Amino acid sequence: MSNIVAIVGRPNVGKSTFFNRLIQRREAIVDSVSGVTRDRNYGKSEWNGKEFSVIDTGGYIKGSDDIFEGEIRKQVELAIDEADAIVFLVDVEEGITPMDDEVAKLLRKVTKPVLLVVNKVDNAKREQDAFEFYNLGLGEYVTMSGMSGSGTGEVLDKIVEILPELPEIEEVQDELPRFAVVGRPNAGKSSFINALIGEDRFVVTDIAGTTRDAIDTKYNRFGFEFNLVDTAGIRRKAKVKEDLEFYSVMRSVRAIEHADVCILVIDATRGFEGQDQNIFWLAEKNRKGIVILINKWDLVEKSTMTARDYENKVREEIAPFTDVPILFVSALTKQRLLKALEAAVQVYENRKQRIATSKFNETMLPIIENNPPPAIKGKYIKIKYCMQLPTAIPQFVFFANLPQYIKDPYKRFVENKLREIYNFEGVPIDIYFRQK
């Protein structure tokens, strides 16, 4: 479980550069989810042993400059609602603008920790100019330069300092698997859960975004026992009008981080859109099991689009991680819902499986011997030994004499062979090459 830090501020103060600085502190966890526009707006950061998720609200704002003010106000209100801490970024070159004042006004009312960061401070004169930001009434500020990176350490120190303590989660050995039902607003997540549980446990309406908090439901039927997590609950009607794209991602972040398997519900009538992709990559980067359900399949004109065409299109969008179960369901007619559950349980089992080292070597080494990595500069790469690491998610290490010369295409080849032999459907796997 990790805290969520939201970066807010008006356009062009350097939010994206700052965001990239934050998430590149540690290569191991760094990767951010990309939508179709490939705008980077979600990542993980770690500093002094504290891990947190970072959301750059700027990536979600659509429209031209004149409608920005309303949009920014919405983003700030959402960040206030959903994040654990807020970083307010301002630009020393432009000084305080009316829009900064607006944002500050909203933030002054908040009980959550707010950190004011003055960006583009790269010399002593600008250090002096930054004094003006005391006038925003948010107290102390930190200065930095997103471009050169100076001051990033101080900013991270401050963020880690203001993050609220997370409740300790008791690790229970026989804890039930957690299946999170995720997807964009109105894809039919709550209807899917209601159809499974057989009672209207959630309020289902036709207004997008009527669901508010993640709710866990213990599910025990047909021999399956697990917790179903719906990113759901009841939402205040006043909030329904807002742009829900950013909201649904923030909601999904929490649900995904705490799940074992993510059941991604897609609205068949709308297709696999950018937002669905965002949520898919979010689950993949967090190394969770994934099942994709194409819901409302009963509403699709079958003459125009067959299931196979539809499935191929989705697989193109999620490449290179295409080894994922895709099922066509209808929460309304209850078509294939149990199949969907069986698929999720199977993915959970796949994610948990352990392969004995001796067996793994017997299987993989002959394949590698017959298809060795290409020689580089006359040097031959030999892989002599491999094993699965004792981690919560499937990770494999191959020991080689010259691991630094093994390129991505070969890594993919090894992963594909592994997937052909062992069932890792729906499960992201990590493959490492190390010095033997």
According to the annotation, is 348 in a ligand binding site?
no
Indicate the residue type of 162: I
223 annotated among ligand-binding-site residues: no
Say whether 363 counts as a known binding-site residue. no
Query: Any binding-site annotation on 59?
Result: yes
| 391 is known to lie in a ligand binding site | no
45 annotated among ligand-binding-site residues:
no
Residue 121 marked as a ligand binder: yes
The answer to whether 120 is a known ligand-binding residue is yes
The reply, when asked if residue 34 is annotated as ligand binding, is no
Q: Is 185 assigned a ligand-binding role in the annotation? A: yes
HSE, CB side, 13 Å, CA atoms: give it for residue 177: 23
189 annotated to a ligand binding site: yes
Structure tokens of 205? Answer: 């309406």
Q: What single DSSP character describes residue 149?
A: -
The answer, yes or no, to whether the previous bond of 320 is cis (omega within 30 of 0) is yes
Asked whether the CA dihedral 311, 352, 277, 74 is positive or negative, the reply is positive
Backbone angles phi, psi at 123, to 5 degrees: -155, 175
Residues 6+ away with beta carbon under 8 Å from 98:
none
| 9 annotated ligand binder | yes
Among residues 50, 45, 102, the alpha carbon closest in space to that of 76 is found at: 102
Which uninterrupted H or E stretch holds 434?
strand 430-435
Does 43 count as an annotated binding residue?
Answer: no
Residue 184 assigned ligand-binding role:
yes
232 is in an annotated binding site: yes
233 is in an annotated binding site: yes
Among the listed residues 135, 136, 69, 67, the one whose alpha carbon sits nearest the alpha carbon of residue 107: 136
188 marked ligand binding residue: yes
Q: Does 297 belong to an annotated binding site?
A: yes
Check whether 281 is labelled as a binding-site residue.
Answer: no
Annotated binding residue 270: no
Kindly report the length of the chain.
Answer: 436
Question: Annotation-wise, does 58 bind a ligand?
Answer: yes
Is 309 annotated in some ligand binding site? Answer: no
3-state DSSP call for residue 197? Answer: helix
**Alpha-carbon gap, residue 15 to 66, rounded angstroms:** 19
Known binding-site residue numbers for GTP: 9-16, 56-60, 119-122, 183-190, 230-234, 295-298
Known binding-site residue numbers: 9-16, 56-60, 119-122, 183-190, 230-234, 295-298
